[in-house]
Protein backbone atom coordinates (compact mmCIF):
# COMPACT_ATOMS: atom_id res chain seq x y z
CA UNK A 1 0.00 0.00 0.00
CA UNK A 2 1.33 3.41 -0.89
CA UNK A 3 1.56 6.63 1.07
CA UNK A 4 -0.33 8.41 -1.73
CA UNK A 5 -3.22 5.93 -1.51
CA UNK A 6 -3.43 6.31 2.27
CA UNK A 7 -3.38 10.09 1.94
CA UNK A 8 -6.21 10.04 -0.61
CA UNK A 9 -8.29 7.75 1.62
CA UNK A 10 -7.70 9.91 4.70
CA UNK A 11 -8.62 13.06 2.77
CA UNK A 12 -11.95 11.44 1.98
CA UNK A 13 -12.68 9.87 5.37
CA UNK A 14 -12.09 13.22 7.08
CA UNK A 15 -14.80 14.65 4.81
CA UNK A 16 -17.20 11.74 5.49
CA UNK A 17 -16.83 11.51 9.27
CA UNK A 18 -20.00 12.36 11.14
CA UNK A 19 -22.09 13.09 8.05
CA UNK A 20 -25.44 11.43 7.46
CA UNK A 21 -25.32 8.83 4.68
CA UNK A 22 -28.10 10.16 2.45
CA UNK A 23 -28.92 11.72 -0.92
CA UNK A 24 -27.47 15.08 0.15
CA UNK A 25 -24.10 13.44 0.81
CA UNK A 26 -24.21 11.72 -2.59
CA UNK A 27 -24.95 15.05 -4.31
CA UNK A 28 -22.16 16.80 -2.40
CA UNK A 29 -19.61 14.05 -3.15
CA UNK A 30 -20.40 14.12 -6.87
CA UNK A 31 -20.14 17.92 -6.96
CA UNK A 32 -16.94 18.11 -4.88
CA UNK A 33 -15.06 14.85 -5.56
CA UNK A 34 -16.80 13.65 -8.73
CA UNK A 35 -15.38 12.09 -11.87
CA UNK A 36 -13.98 15.40 -13.13
CA UNK A 37 -12.03 16.14 -9.93
CA UNK A 38 -8.29 15.72 -9.43
CA UNK A 39 -8.99 13.60 -6.32
CA UNK A 40 -11.09 11.14 -8.38
CA UNK A 41 -8.45 10.85 -11.10
CA UNK A 42 -5.68 10.38 -8.53
CA UNK A 43 -7.67 7.70 -6.68
CA UNK A 44 -8.49 5.80 -9.87
CA UNK A 45 -4.82 5.85 -10.82
CA UNK A 46 -3.80 4.69 -7.33
CA UNK A 47 -6.28 1.80 -7.54
CA UNK A 48 -5.22 0.62 -10.99
CA UNK A 49 -1.60 0.79 -9.82
CA UNK A 50 -2.42 -1.14 -6.64
CA UNK A 51 -4.08 -3.90 -8.67
CA UNK A 52 -1.11 -4.07 -11.06
CA UNK A 53 1.26 -4.28 -8.06
CA UNK A 54 -0.82 -7.10 -6.55
CA UNK A 55 -1.73 -5.61 -3.16
CA UNK A 56 -5.25 -4.55 -4.16
CA UNK A 57 -8.06 -6.92 -5.27
CA UNK A 58 -5.85 -9.91 -4.51
CA UNK A 59 -8.74 -12.30 -3.85
CA UNK A 60 -11.14 -13.74 -6.42
CA UNK A 61 -14.47 -15.54 -6.12
CA UNK A 62 -17.33 -15.98 -8.54
CA UNK A 63 -15.67 -13.82 -11.21
CA UNK A 64 -15.12 -10.86 -8.86
CA UNK A 65 -11.71 -9.66 -7.71
CA UNK A 66 -11.84 -7.99 -4.29
CA UNK A 67 -10.13 -7.17 -1.05
CA UNK A 68 -10.27 -5.07 2.09
CA UNK A 69 -7.34 -2.69 1.80
CA UNK A 70 -7.91 -0.72 5.01
CA UNK A 71 -9.48 -1.86 8.26
CA UNK A 72 -11.48 0.66 10.30
CA UNK A 73 -9.22 2.75 12.53
CA UNK A 74 -8.91 6.23 14.04
CA UNK A 75 -6.66 7.18 11.07
CA UNK A 76 -9.62 6.58 8.73
CA UNK A 77 -12.26 8.02 11.07
CA UNK A 78 -13.63 4.52 11.67
CA UNK A 79 -14.13 3.63 8.00
CA UNK A 80 -12.88 0.48 6.31
CA UNK A 81 -12.06 0.51 2.61
CA UNK A 82 -12.70 -2.39 0.24
CA UNK A 83 -12.11 -2.41 -3.51
CA UNK A 84 -13.77 -4.72 -6.03
CA UNK A 85 -13.12 -5.24 -9.73
CA UNK A 86 -16.31 -6.32 -11.50
CA UNK A 87 -17.31 -6.84 -15.11
CA UNK A 88 -20.94 -7.43 -16.16
CA UNK A 89 -21.80 -9.31 -12.98
CA UNK A 90 -23.90 -9.17 -9.84
CA UNK A 91 -22.12 -9.71 -6.55
CA UNK A 92 -23.37 -11.31 -3.34
CA UNK A 93 -26.38 -9.72 -1.66
CA UNK A 94 -25.49 -7.84 1.50
CA UNK A 95 -26.86 -5.33 3.99
CA UNK A 96 -25.33 -2.11 5.28
CA UNK A 97 -26.09 -1.78 9.01
CA UNK A 98 -24.27 1.57 9.14
CA UNK A 99 -24.54 2.48 5.44
CA UNK A 100 -22.14 2.29 2.52
CA UNK A 101 -20.45 4.95 0.39
CA UNK A 102 -19.31 3.77 -3.03
CA UNK A 103 -16.84 5.35 -5.43
CA UNK A 104 -17.56 4.06 -8.95
CA UNK A 105 -14.52 4.08 -11.28
CA UNK A 106 -15.39 2.69 -14.73
CA UNK A 107 -12.58 0.95 -16.58
CA UNK A 108 -14.71 0.80 -19.72
CA UNK A 109 -16.54 3.99 -20.72
CA UNK A 110 -20.17 2.90 -20.30
CA UNK A 111 -19.79 0.73 -17.17
CA UNK A 112 -22.24 1.44 -14.37
CA UNK A 113 -22.48 0.21 -10.80
CA UNK A 114 -26.09 -0.21 -9.64
CA UNK A 115 -27.09 2.19 -12.42
CA UNK A 116 -24.48 4.80 -11.46
CA UNK A 117 -21.73 5.85 -13.91
CA UNK A 118 -18.41 7.33 -12.77
CA UNK A 119 -18.88 9.04 -9.41
CA UNK A 120 -20.51 8.34 -6.06
CA UNK A 121 -23.40 6.20 -4.80
CA UNK A 122 -24.51 6.42 -1.14
CA UNK A 123 -26.58 3.76 0.61
CA UNK A 124 -28.15 4.75 3.96
CA UNK A 125 -27.95 2.65 7.13
CA UNK A 126 -30.19 -0.40 6.95
CA UNK A 127 -30.14 -0.66 3.15
CA UNK A 128 -29.23 -3.80 1.18
CA UNK A 129 -28.47 -4.78 -2.42
CA UNK A 130 -26.75 -7.16 -4.80
CA UNK A 131 -23.94 -4.97 -6.16
CA UNK A 132 -24.10 -5.09 -9.94
CA UNK A 133 -21.86 -3.81 -12.71
CA UNK A 134 -23.37 -3.63 -16.18
CA UNK A 135 -22.15 -2.42 -19.58
CA UNK A 136 -18.49 -3.13 -18.92
CA UNK A 137 -15.89 -3.24 -16.19
CA UNK A 138 -15.55 -1.01 -13.14
CA UNK A 139 -13.63 -0.70 -9.93
CA UNK A 140 -15.80 0.12 -6.94
CA UNK A 141 -14.37 1.37 -3.66
CA UNK A 142 -16.56 0.81 -0.60
CA UNK A 143 -16.22 3.09 2.42
CA UNK A 144 -17.95 1.23 5.28
CA UNK A 145 -18.57 2.96 8.62
CA UNK A 146 -17.09 0.71 11.34
CA UNK A 147 -16.29 -1.78 8.56
CA UNK A 148 -19.76 -3.25 8.93
CA UNK A 149 -21.30 -5.37 6.21
CA UNK A 150 -23.65 -8.34 6.53
CA UNK A 151 -23.81 -10.85 3.71
CA UNK A 152 -27.33 -12.16 3.24
CA UNK A 153 -29.37 -14.29 0.88
CA UNK A 154 -31.64 -12.33 -1.44
Q: What is the pLDDT of residues 30-47, one digit of tens each?
A: 999 999 999 999 999 999
Which parts of the chain have pLDDT scores under 50?
Answer: none
Question: What pLDDT does 48 receive?
Answer: 96
Model pLDDT for residues 126-150, shown as the tens digit of each residue: 999 999 999 999 999 999 999 999 9
Question: What pLDDT does 154 receive?
Answer: 53
Question: What pLDDT does 142 receive?
Answer: 97
Query: Which are the contacts of 53, defined by CB distance < 8 A and separation ≥ 6?
Result: none
CB of 116 closer than 8 Å to CB of 141: no
Dist CA 51 CA 12 (whole Å):
20
Task: Catalogue all structural domains in the chain, each as residue range(s) with its CATH number.
Answer: 3-151 (2.60.120.10)
Question: What pLDDT does 2 receive?
Answer: 84
- Cα 24–Cα 72–Cα 57 angle in degrees, nearest 5: 90
Query: Which are the contacts of 131, defined by CB distance < 8 A and separation ≥ 6?
Result: 84, 86, 90, 91, 94, 113, 114, 140
Question: What pLDDT does 66 receive?
Answer: 96
Amino acid sequence: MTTQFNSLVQTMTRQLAGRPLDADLQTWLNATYGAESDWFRDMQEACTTGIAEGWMCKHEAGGIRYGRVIKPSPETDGFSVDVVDMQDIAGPHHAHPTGEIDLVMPLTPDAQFDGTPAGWKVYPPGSAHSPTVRQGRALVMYFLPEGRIEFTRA
